[in-house]
Structure 1
Amino acid sequence: MNRRHLRWIVPAATVVIASVVAVVLVTQVGGSAACAAGGSASYYTAGRNGMCNLGTPADGAYAAVGKAELSGGKNCGTLLDVTGPNGTTRVQIVDLCPSCPAGKLDLGKGAFQRIGSLSAGIIPVTYATVRDPEVGPLRVKVKGGQGSSSLSVVVDNHGNPLSTVELQQGESFIALKHGEDNTWTGPSKLSGTIALRISDVYAHQALVSGLALGQNDFQQSTQHLYGGPSPSPSTGPSTVESAAASASPSPERSVVPAGIGTTAPPVRC
């Protein structure tokens, strides 16, 4: 994994302030956070793709979270509202911060400087997951799937944590296997274009068809998972077993699937 961290030596008083944890309840409605957790944030420059293989926004509106909060990749792509001394900014979870405990965020430089001073290095923050945030149509990266190469899929612009990604085959759907690096893997020996049924933990669902195999870049669809025009997805049954093929993650990507994102949005309160 390609990550470059900026580490800082900060006054002891700053560390004490940043270590204070507060929990604030807020209203849970569409487009707003369920609750906010207090902690601290530093900043860094992400690698090209980050752990989640989503890339990084050019304006630095991204975040890396610890192992528990990434939850084995389940929270990749979700959005956080982060409030610091100078205001609030919205970021997308795109990366793993291996050294971050629960409550600690590593923000993109652009996001950090919108809510705090870069010279501080570490700032106290509160943050919360945003349910049903406004995002564009789904983007899907499709690699492999042809010949002996296993299908590998990455989904972006889903907003909420995903529950399943399924490959349509005739009248049936095969559940792809989700990895800690945020890839959904499936069978090989496919041809033509494919269709994927994408579902989130709140039962929003969209069917994205016409996806070309063997592409290295994201393919832009016109389908929204929620809040936008989308045709009704097929109601065909899913197969019981996940598709077989899945590449093993490297040791540095080993994540304990715990904490904040199994069947609910990634919040700690």
Structure 2
Amino acid sequence: MASSSHRRRPPPDQDFRWRPVRGPLLAVAAVAAVALVVTLAVAFRPGDAAGATRPDLAVSGHPSEAVTSAAATPRKPSPTPSTAAPAATVSRRTTASPPPSPTASRAPSPTAGNATARTTTAPAAGRIRPGTTYQGVATSYDVGNGDGACSYGPTSDVLTAAMNTADYETAKACGAYVSVRAASGTAITVRITNECPAPCAVGQLDLSRQAFAKLAPLSAGRIAITWSLLSPAVTDTVSIRYKTGSSRYWCGIQAIGHRNPLARLEVRTGSGWLALTRTGYNYFLSEQGTGCGGGIRLTDIYGEQLTLPALAVRPDVVQRTGVQFARH
């Protein structure tokens, strides 16, 4: 006899209502009735909430089916990262916490009193630009007491140089530190304190005799060189000096001891900052006395600014500020 799962279904128009029930059918009917009674008893036993679905009745009871049913249960979707652009942020550089450089580390600038320091990102370099190597020739001269066109006054520093007029650029090169390298590979660092007029050519440096002698014998007279701007480690800080004859009504102001070449000097006025005109002898003039004795703001060729408090007009007196430009 074929199993019930393979039993053929009767034609749909056949009527079984008055068909005699045979033995096997009676047995099947009895088993089905017992199963129905058991199912109803279990479903409505005390403690089961009306209408609740039991986990053990939701599936056929096979472990594999139970796992499949649990996996098919919808899960709360995970948060999706937003694709919207983040709000713009602005970071300001300060000399107290300069950003890292890919080529050199920058040391923080010291501050003193109520002097403040602020850095911008716009470079203000002139003819002598950072990261550029220049070609020229080196000659030598007797520097005497060390004074020169930059008006720094006598000095015991013998490693100095005079810059050709074109690159001197109306004293903009004053105070710059440059690395000078001979064809032999020997290099020295000198500070620009003077101007070398014609016949000095563009790119030419007129070195102190002491500096020249470190590159070649003085008898060589003239040698080929390359040179580039430096931002070296220094122990000194910037100082301010008012020119002889300065007063509230006219003054000349000079910055001394700056690590990097100075691009601009401004004085505070009632209407804001006023940039003073630079002279070839390295003083910034206020012809009408505007800002004389007031606050001073210095900007180097990298765009960094140092803001100084008001300083008394004391002609020919070096007044220390306690601040310095950052190293590059």
TM-score range, shorter chain: 0.5 to 0.7
Does the Cα contact within 8 Å between 2:267 and 2:292 map onto a contact in 1? no
Q: TM-score, normalised by structure 1?
A: 0.65
Question: Higher RCO, 1 or 2 (CA under 8 Å, sep at least 6)?
Answer: 1
> Counterpart amino acid of 2:208?
G
User: Secondary structure of the equivalent of 1:216?
Assistant: coil
Q: 1:35 aligns with which of 120, 123, 132?
A: 132
Q: Kindly indicate whether residue 189 of structure 2 is the aligned counterpart of residue 124 of structure 1.
A: no
Match of 2:201 in 1: 101
| 1:51-200 aligned within 5 A | 51-55=149-153, 57-84=155-182, 85=184, 87-98=186-197, 99-130=199-230, 132-135=231-234, 136-143=236-243, 144-146=245-247, 148=249, 150-170=250-270, 172-188=272-288, 193-200=293-300
Q: Deviations over 1:139-190 (max 9, x none)?
A: 2211244254x21011122233322211123572221111122210115557
Does the Cα contact within 8 Å between 2:134 and 2:203 map onto a contact in 1? yes
Query: How far did residue 60 of structure 1 move?
Result: 1.4
Match of 1:46 in 2: 143
Greater helix fraction, Structure 1 or Structure 2: 2
> Counterpart amino acid of 2:194?
D
Query: How far did residue 28 of structure 1 move?
Result: 6.3
Does the Cα contact within 8 Å between 2:286 and 2:292 map onto a contact in 1? no
Does the Cα contact within 8 Å between 1:28 and 1:34 map onto a contact in 2? no
User: Secondary structure of the equivalent of 2:133?
Assistant: strand
Kindly tell me: are residues 47 and 213 of structure 1, through their superposed partners in 2, closer, same or farther at Cα, counting changes over 3 Å? farther
CA–CA distance in structure 1, aligned partners of residues 162 and 225 of structure 2: 14
CA–CA distance in structure 1, aligned partners of residues 215 and 156 of structure 2: 17
Kindly tell me: are residues 147 and 199 of structure 1, through their superposed partners in 2, closer, same or farther at Cα, counting changes over 3 Å? closer
Match of 1:262 in 2: none
Q: Deviations over 1:217-242 (max 9, x none)?
A: 42222011225xxxxxxxxxxxxxxx
Kindly tell me: are residues 122 and 28 of structure 1, through their superposed partners in 2, closer, same or farther at Cα, counting changes over 3 Å? farther
User: Secondary structure of the equivalent of 2:135?
Assistant: strand
Larger mean Cα displacement after TM superposition, 209-218 or 178-187: 209-218
Q: Kindly indicate whether residue 315 of structure 2 is the aligned counterpart of residue 215 of structure 1.
A: yes
Kindly tell me: are residues 80 and 56 of structure 1, through their superposed partners in 2, closer, same or farther at Cα, counting changes over 3 Å? farther
Q: CA RMSD in A?
A: 2.9
CA–CA distance in structure 2, aligned partners of residues 177 and 196 of structure 1: 14
Moved over 6 A (4+): none
Q: Deviations over 1:90-136 (max 9, x none)?
A: 11111111120012210012211222212222222211111x33232
How many residues get paired?
200
> Counterpart amino acid of 1:146?
S
CA–CA distance in structure 2, aligned partners of residues 72 and 189 of structure 1: 22
Q: TM-score, normalised by structure 2?
A: 0.54
CA–CA distance in structure 2, aligned partners of residues 90 and 134 of structure 1: 12
> Counterpart amino acid of 1:39?
G
User: Secondary structure of the equivalent of 1:134?
Assistant: coil
Does the Cα contact within 8 Å between 1:137 and 1:157 map onto a contact in 2? yes
Q: Deviations over 1:175-223 (max 9, x none)?
A: 1111122210115557994321101121111122252313214222201
Q: 1:205 aligns with which of 282, 305, 319?
A: 305
Does the Cα contact within 8 Å between 2:247 and 2:292 map onto a contact in 1? no
CA–CA distance in structure 1, aligned partners of residues 181 and 229 of structure 2: 12
Larger mean Cα displacement after TM superposition, 83-92 or 173-182: 83-92
CA–CA distance in structure 1, aligned partners of residues 144 and 285 of structure 2: 22
Does the Cα contact within 8 Å between 2:238 and 2:256 map onto a contact in 1? yes
